[in-house]
Structure 1
């Protein structure tokens, strides 16, 4: 059973931030932000054509600065947020803004040339508003409220959680709530994830080696995982199907899985990478599939069925044939955890890996040299899950 070859796309500049176009459920689309110190930075909208196994690109200028984080609005596919470095008078500051992807009509009305021509200038993203966090330090990442109307967002600054209300199609933003991380030393948030369960009132954050859960109604900690990793925690992600399960990864080369009801020890540990693990992502539908990427230039796809919502594989519906007795059926046995596949198309640190929101069997990964790779879950694994 031969698998499709990976599709490789090269950006002109270095890049480290990638997201799926979350509100797009029909087409397979990803957004990539570049990091260039000498030229105008760009956001690449990549549309994957499954029938022809190729990527189609649309490039938009992001003139403000190099992009360190990008997030797509869950309700409006044309709105995105970026955290970026802007240099003014030899001073660099970290800013966060909301943008709208211009429509084809907007591009034509502006008098811009056809940006499919390599000699013409790409259209520029439309600035909706800036998130003013001057009193709270630099924002390191943004999180939209999952499966919502795109009117609420969280940002993590160095040691503050800020909750934003967005009005008038995101043209205005105001801080509605906040919390401060108060621990010894100079704590700085590195990453966070919005919990899709519990009516979207919980998030998880990471600072140094610690993971903390927060209740957004009170802005108080509800659980703490001390020394979740022996070195810096780089990413966290919630299981979409099991409400108390959380994955994390870090500079200790490990991926850990946690039950937030009992944080004294992890429920599972993966040690498949040989360098810092930058990204961990649960599949949006089949939570036994977990994707990780690392500075060892590799992406791994793991089966963690033992702690998933389907530990025994697919459950078939009862047959209508009354001649088949339950006693004749073989009892289901647990599916064994293992590495499904290791992907080695990258030659530099792989900073991001993301599942498509339109196709549960397809994902993209991005390395610092600007190489984006589209891969799929192996057909044998796909059919094993489905059948």
Structure 2
């Protein structure tokens, strides 16, 4: 039972911004943004044909500047946001904007690709008063029109009107800590009616209630060095995962933040990105400056504990000895696979929203790799 080979796609420029096309749930598609100081930057709209194991692409110009973050709407597959470095003769500043893809993937691809089209600007997300933009998050379910951005040491909420091509800032909150350390990352809690988010700054992780813009919890010294990424368990309330420059991945229960539930030390350099699988939350991906992507099985903290998977049907053909042996050796937490197709720092990894077994990773040298969960592990989960 051989696994399919990884599929590698090379971009012309360096890159660190990658996101699954969250509003597309039928086709396996990702969006990648480039970082080039000298050339016009590009957004690559990637389609993965899993039957033929090939990548198709559309390329759009992003003339505003090099992209440091990209995210896709959870409800409208044509919308995305970018955070980009806008440079002029006097200064450089990080800004954010909301864009629309020119058309559906197949329609665009049928046109002449020799002259790249540009993204259609919907509106800028203005946070000039709050400093440089870091990232933008879309509402997890798309039930409302709010997007949340990080700007230096402030959280900013906009209400967007795509038909009117406008974004109205509705609320903001700032860090009240010594030195005003800058926010590094955020994640939107998909539970509790989607009114809470988590942010990280320095070695701290903080919870926020978007209704009051007040802090709800603080994990002090969550990592020994800078926290790079956080993600909520999509299926189990109160559980989050974080990673950082101390080379570790840590799991937390936000109701009891004194100690992590589990610590992984599989990487040998800064861990930039960590993601729960949206369907099978025992599958956790991480990527690092050690050029590796690691897939872990964390069944002990998942919403599918081993006990629920054991068949206790009286009509089971297995005899008692077989059942006892299975119960005596439940699945263990551990590394499922280490992916080493990259040769540079892997800044981002993300799961497909259309296929729970497919994920993409992006390294700074512009190499995008699409991989799959090993078949043996897939069948263990499904059977």
Q: 1:53 to 1:313 in 2, by over 3 A?
A: farther
Match of 2:41 in 1: 41
Residue by residue over 1:322-367, the C-alpha shift from the partner in whole angstroms, topping out at 9 and shown as x without a partner, is 9999999547454210100000000000000000000000100000
CA distance, structure 1, for counterparts of residue 144 and residue 101 of structure 2: 15
2:380 aligned counterpart, secondary structure? helix
Structure 2: segments with no counterpart, 5+ residues: none
Is 1:367–2:358 an aligned residue pair? no
Alignment check: 8 A CA contact 1:314 1:386 kept: no
Match of 1:11 in 2: 11
Range moving further from structure 2, 341-350 or 135-144: 135-144
Number of aligned positions between the proteins: 380
When normalised by structure 2's length, the TM-score is 0.94
CA RMSD of the aligned region, Å? 2.3
Alignment check: 8 A CA contact 2:122 2:162 kept: no
By how many angstroms is 1:169 displaced?
3.4
Match of 1:186 in 2: 180
CA distance, structure 2, for counterparts of residue 140 and residue 347 of structure 1: 26
Alignment check: 8 A CA contact 2:232 2:239 kept: yes
Match of 1:282 in 2: 276
1:1-387 mapped onto 2 (5 Å cutoff): 1-103=1-103, 114-116=111-113, 120-149=114-143, 151-169=145-163, 171-312=165-306, 315=309, 321=315, 330=324, 332=327, 334-387=330-383
2:128 aligned counterpart, secondary structure? coil
By how many angstroms is 1:176 displaced?
1.0
By how many angstroms is 1:92 displaced?
1.0
By how many angstroms is 1:321 displaced?
4.9
By how many angstroms is 1:171 displaced?
1.3
CA distance, structure 2, for counterparts of residue 279 and residue 322 of structure 1: 42
By how many angstroms is 1:21 displaced?
0.3
Residue by residue over 1:138-182, the C-alpha shift from the partner in whole angstroms, topping out at 9 and shown as x without a partner, is 110111110124611000111111111111437110111111111
2:130 aligned counterpart, secondary structure? coil
By how many angstroms is 1:113 displaced?
10
Alignment check: 8 A CA contact 2:78 2:104 kept: no
1:135 aligned counterpart, secondary structure? helix
